[in-house]
Amino acid sequence: YKEFGLLGGIAGWFGGDYVKNKLIEAFKDIDQEIVENLEKETQNSGNLGKVLKTRTKPVVLDADALNCIALRPAMLKDLPVLSVITPHPGEFDRLFGEHHSDSARLLKAIEVSHTLNILILLKSHYTALVRPDLKVYFNSTGTPGMATGGSGDVLTGVITSLIAQGYKPEVSALIGAYIHGVAGEIATREQGELGVTAGDIAANIGKAIKQVTARSSENLQN
Three-state SS at 22: helix
> Could you write out the three-class secondary structure of 57-109?
CCCEECCHHHHHHHHCHHHHHHCCCCCEECCCHHHHHHHHCCCCCHHHHHHHH
Distance CA 217, CA 7 (A): 66
Say if strands 128-130 and 136-138 run parallel, antiparallel, or are unpaired: antiparallel
Across-strand partners of 10?
A: none
Mean per-residue pLDDT of the chain: 84
The answer to which of 3-12, 85-94, 143-152 has the lowest mean pLDDT is 3-12
pLDDT value at residue 12: 42
Distance CA 205, CA 182 (A): 8
pTM: predicted TM-score of the whole model, two decimal places: 0.80
Residue 68 burial (CB count, 10 A)? 20
Taking only the tens place, the pLDDT of each residue in 168-186 is: 999 999 999 999 999 999 9
pLDDT value at residue 216: 73
Which of 72, 41, 175, 52 lies closest to 118, judged by CA? Answer: 52
The DSSP symbol for 131 reads -
Three-state SS at 119: strand
